[in-house]
A = this chain, B = another copy of it.
Amino acid sequence: MTVTSEMKPESVTLHPLGTASAPVPELLCIFGTGDLGRSLGLRLLQSGYRVVYGSRRPDSCGPLPQGAQVMSHAAAAQSAGLIFICVHREHYDFLQNLAPHLQGKVLVDLSNNLKKGVYPEANAAYLQRLVPGAAVVKGLNTLSAWALQNGLLAGKQVYLCGNSAEAKQAVAEMATKLGVTVLDKGSLSAARELEDFPLRLFPEWRLPLSVAFGLIAFFFFYLLIRDVIYAYVEQGKDVSFRIMVSLANKVFPIVSLIMLSLCYLPGSIAGFLQLYRGTKYRRFPDWLDRWMLCRKQMGLVALGLAFLHAIYTFIIPIRYNVRHKLISTVVDEIKKNKTTPFDFDNTEAWGTDSFFALGILGFFLYVLLGLTSLPSVGGTLSWREFTFIQSKLGHLTLFICTAHGYLYGWNKFLRVSTYKWYTPPGFMLCLIVPSVVLVLKALLLLPCVDRTLTRIRQGWERTQSKEELGINKATNF
C-alpha cells in the first residue's frame, strides 16, 4: 500500500467490528434510585457510560433506565471508582457502615437542602466526616432531575469543590462529557456555598426592588395627600376612587423614570471618581460597586413600571369617570351655551401630541433595552454593540423620557394652583434625579473631559512619576 503521509488511514478506522479490542465504556455507580438518581443514570448511559445502581433492595427498587444494573450498595461501590450520592442528607448514616467499601473512591455529593442553615455543616463536609477514606467532591447539585431527563444540559455551567484535585479532575471530565462546563470553586469548604446556590432567591434583585418599593410607597402617600386628601379637605369632594388608577398611573411612571436614572447615575459617578483620582486602578467604594452590579435589575424594574404606566394609560378612555366627565362636560356646555372652550387650541394640540409621541418613543426604546438584556440576545452582541445599546441608547431613552416628563408639566411650572399646600407635584420631584444624571453625562461628554477619561480607562495614570510610567505601562488592560 502506498499511502502518502497526507492520506494515511486515520486512527478511527475501525478494527474489524465485533472483535474484543473495543474499549469498554467506564462504569459509574449511583446510590439512590429516586428521581434524581434515575435521571442521572439515564443521562450517563446516553453519554456513553455504563451505570450500576447501589440499592438496599436491588430486587424491588422500581423502574430504572434501560441498560443499568442494580446491586447491593457494597457490590456496586466496589465495581466503580466514581459514586454519585443521590440520597437525602438525613439518610447518609448508612454510608458510615459502607466506609470500608468506599475507601479511595470518589464520592460525588449532589444533595441539596430544602432550607438554608438547617445543619451546622455542609452536607458534603458531613459526608467526608462519615467516610474519611473517600474523596468527596461536592457538585452538579444545580442540575435538576428535570434538566437531566430532558437533555437541557448543553451549555450549562456547574460548580465543583473538593479537597482532592485528582478526584475533582475525574468528576470534571465526566461532567464535560455530559455537556456542561465545570467551574472549580476550590476546597470542600466551599461546599456550603454550592449547596446554597439552588436556594438563592433573587439576591441581585433585593436592592433594586427595595428601592422601587420605597419610592412607590413615598410617592403613593405624597400623591394621596396632594390629590385625594387635599380635595377632600379643601373642596369637600370625595375622589378616593382615583387611588386605583389615576394615582397608580402617576406613581408608576414617576418611580420608573427615577429607577432608570438610578441605572445610569453610578456610571457617571464612577467616571467623575476616576477623573478625580486620576487612575482606574483604585477600587471603587463598596456602595458604588454594589450599585453598579444591580444596574441591569434596576433597569428591568424601571421597564416593568413603564409597562404598567403604558397599560394604565391605554385604558384611560374606557374608565367610568373619564366617560362621565366627557358627557357632563358636553351637557354642561350645551346648557350654559358657552362655546369658548370649543375653540381649537393649536398649541395645546401640538403640546399633548408631542407629549404622547415622546412617551411612545421612550417606551419603545425602553423595550429595546429590555430585549437586549435577555441573555440569549445580549450574548450575540459584540462588545461595541453592547456598549452602544446600554450606554448611548440608554442615555437617549433617559433623555426622551425626561423630556416626556418636562412636557407633561410644560405650563404647570409657573402656575400657583400647581403647588397645593405649598408642595410641588410628583412629576417635578421625579424630574430632579434624571436631570442631574443627564447633566453629569453631558459634562462627561465634553471633549476635554472625555479625552482624559478615555486615557485613564486605557490605563494612563495622572500621578505616576516618570520612571513608574515607563515601567507600569505594560501592565494595564
Contacts and interface: CB of A to CB of B under 8 A. Distances in A.
Contact of A12 (B26, B34, B379): B26
A383 B35 CA distance: 15
Size bracket of the A interface:
35 or more
Copies of this protein in the assembly total 3
A14 B47 contact: no
A381 B159 CA distance: 15
A248 B331 contact: no
A313 B363 CA distance: 14
A189 B310 CA distance: 52
Most buried by B among A56, A307, A368, A476: A476
A27 interface: yes
Contact of A352 (B15, B319, B333): B319
Nearest to A237: B344
Given A57-B475, A104-B17, A321 B349 contact: yes
Contact of A26 (B10, B79, B181, B248): B10
Contact of A88 (B244, B363, B477): B477
Contacts of A142: 382-383
A402 interface: no
Contacts of A243: 353
A28 to B, nearest CB: 8
A198 B384 contact: yes
Contacts of A178: 181
A202 B385 contact: yes
Interface string A346-359: 10111011101100
A51 to B, nearest CB: 12
Interface string A160-186: 000011111110100011111111111
A477 B315 contact: no
A245 B351 CA distance: 11
A477 B352 contact: no
